Amino acid sequence: MSAKIKVLIVDDSRTEQLFLSQILLEDESITIVGTAYDGQSAIDAANRFSPDIITMDLNMPGMNGLEATRHIMRTKPVPILIVTADTSMNSAENAFKLVEVGAVGLIEKPSAFSHADHAQSSKRLCRMVKTMAQVKLVQRKGTDHSSIVQSNPDYPPKKPACIVIGASTGGPAVIKFILESLETPLPVPVFIVQHMSSGFTPGFVKWLNTCSKLPVKEPIHNEIFKDNYVYVAPDDFYMSVTADNQIRLTKRDVKQYCIDTISHFFKSVGERFKGEALALILTGMGEDGVAELKTLRNLGCTTLAQDKETSIVHGMPGEALKIEAAEYEMSPAQMIDFINNTFRKK
């Protein structure tokens, strides 16, 4: 029998600690090694119990989740999953500050035992814990992706009609870095499909708008897309683009999490833009979007995959490189250099 996944629960409420413990222990592959009520006790417990993953609350007395996450990721990295009952825009924006310093994901706290959605939301949490516990982390002294700059080869300057980005685990921090580093105005639209738990996309968009030089928004159904804008696919929807420059949103089955949202979007990009897209596949588990990235490359699009050194999880970019779906492998800093050089006036 394989070893159980060791979980440390961090929450300032004893009632919530017991609630989460009871849910997680329903899965036979999970064990609870300890609990903590604030940031400092979380750090102490992480050192004492060496958990495989930490579920982290946002707001706690004394040292909060942000400071605790920053300290843990700089000293003894452990996958940290943010678990919060508050998915309001302001709270979600704060949650992404934890992602920026190294947390691997975030999820809404399961519904109460009496709620009709309890069983489904509990399974979602267990699945997320087991998935994120597999993430292999290295000690990171900071989150500045520009520290990994390497000189780009002399790539041929081919101006695309759009930029499309697909990302999963670890993606939000890389996307933030890319958007804050783009030279503007940008003569094309940017589209982003980021795997996201339900309820967090508005906060993600608000967080990105604090740093992006381009306006970032969740599109509405049938919205006409414009150059110099960034469009982030809403959670629980498939996003696609049409021949008449509209963004289409189609409700999807939330039970499947985000299993094929990038694939669905990249397929529409090939149909609308043919070979005139610049497509990026960033850090993340699985292979969502990989086959469609290969199709985009075959159509003549320029395709980039994030390198292994800078990826929290090299699943999607690694699979893209394996089947030669990505034309180039780059760090986020190299990607920025490439994009800015592509659109610079000669």
pLDDT at 93: 87
User: Tens of pLDDT along 106-143?
Assistant: 999 998 989 888 999 999 899 989 988 988 775 544 44
The 80-84 sheet, strands edge to edge: 30-36, 5-10, 53-56, 80-84, 105-108
Query: Is the confidence at residue 103, as pLDDT, over 50?
Result: yes
Strand, helix or coil at 336? helix
- Which residues are known to be catalytic? 168, 195, 288
Number of H helices, E strands in the chain: 11, 15
Which residue reads 């420059």 in tokens? 245
pLDDT at 25: 97
Instruction: Give 115's contacts (C-beta < 8 A, 6+ positions apart).
Output: 121
Contact of 81 with 11, CB cutoff 8 Å = no
User: Tens of pLDDT along 174-222?
Assistant: 999 999 999 999 999 999 999 988 889 999 999 999 999 999 999 999 9
Query: Is the confidence at residue 308, as pLDDT, over 80?
Result: yes
Identity of residue 342: T
Instruction: Give 231's contacts (C-beta < 8 A, 6+ positions apart).
Output: 189, 190, 191, 192, 217, 218, 219, 225, 239, 247
| Model confidence, pTM | 0.89
pLDDT at 149: 42
pLDDT at 254: 64
Which residue reads 């090694």 in tokens? 33
The residue that leads in pLDDT, 345 or 159, is: 159
Query: Is the confidence at residue 269, as pLDDT, over 50?
Result: yes
3-state helix, strand, coil in the chain (%, to 5): 40, 20, 45
Identity of residue 210: T
Query: Is the confidence at residue 346, as pLDDT, over 60?
Result: no
User: Tens of pLDDT along 34-74?
Assistant: 999 999 999 999 999 999 999 999 888 899 999 999 999 99
User: Tens of pLDDT along 273-302?
Assistant: 999 999 999 999 889 999 999 999 999 999
DSSP 204: H
Mean pLDDT for 252-269 is: 84
Contact of 224 with 246, CB cutoff 8 Å = yes
User: Tens of pLDDT along 311-344?
Assistant: 988 999 999 999 999 999 999 999 999 999 999 8
Domains and CATH numbers, the chain: 5-132 (3.40.50.2300), 147-343 (3.40.50.180)
User: Tens of pLDDT along 210-260?
Assistant: 999 999 999 999 999 999 999 999 988 999 999 999 999 999 876 655 579
